[in-house]
A = this chain, B = another copy of it.
Amino acid sequence: MLGHIARRLGLLHGQQICHGLNGTKLTQLLSKETHRHLQSSFKTISPISTMSLWPFSSQPRDFSQPNSSWSPEMCKAYDHYNALCDTDTENGEEQNKGSWRKLPSYNRSIKYATGGIHLSKLIQAKARLFTRNVREQGATFEYVVFVNKEEKSCVCVFQAGRLLEGAPGHVHGGAIATMIDTITGTLAGYLSGPIMTANLNIDYRSPMPLGSVVLIHCALDRIEGRKTYITCKVTSTDESKLYTESTALFVSISVGHLFGSRN
């Protein structure tokens, strides 16, 4: 809940980083051009002006970059969607050829917040995003999100690590719910600005073995006033196996809500 302002802010100040399967060639485009480019992508949907809230003094680490823990299946799926993000910079102007872009993923949303009134400043400074709280690569959530602004949809490539166990050898239902909340919320925040989770309704169709690489497909169902409805399916990478079907409802909130005007 309240979990997606983070990604919205992250996106506004984000990096668009596309690179090859081997992860060795990295084109990092955190520049005024990228900045303007990302801003412009919101003009057709629901722009918010929270740029000045960005609290990081230095460039944060993007945790959705390929690393050595990624399996060949993870790399293949990443490469497939990453190729759809290709930009053309030959004429000196950055132009995205398609509708897809990769979103960055950080381990905090905002560094110092006033929301956590129960926390000391020390503990607040040590807080970490739930899905990025384990340092060991591949141990928990390895994931990367690609969003399609025209289709108002996104796909997350997710590899489930060994520390996400529920029943022996299988992913905990709560870990799957965590990814569904995270990715549906990412899309809702992308489309509607600051939001919080109001409802998650998840049907679990098949147990998911630890180590699985899956796709989390999210799409906008509808927006009604302050309510944004997202649908979500989790499937195998070849989409032949269905793991979960779910719906999520998010409610738009004011940024002030986050900064202490309410708890």
Contact = CB atoms under 8 A, between A and B. Distances in A.
Interface in A96-145: 108-119, 123-124, 126-131, 133-134, 139-140
Contacts of A77: none
A169 B32 CA distance: 30
A112 B169 CA distance: 8
A170 B139 CA distance: 24
A12 to B, nearest CB: 15
Given A162-B127, A210-B119, A211-B118, A200 B179 contact: no
Contacts of A207: 1-2, 115, 196, 263
A199 B201 contact: yes
Q: How many copies does the complex hold?
A: 2
A191 interface: no
B164 A130 contact: yes
Interface string A166-188: 11111111111111111001000
A178 B172 contact: yes
A215 interface: no
A258 interface: yes
Interface stretch (A3-11, A18-26, A42-50, A85-93): A3-11
Contacts of A208: 1
Contact of A175 (B115, B162, B165, B178): B178
A63 interface: no
14 contacts: A1-B166, A1-B170, A2-B167, A109-B165, A109-B166, A113-B167, A117-B209, A118-B210, A119-B209, A124-B168, A173-B200, A199-B204, A207-B263, A209-B263
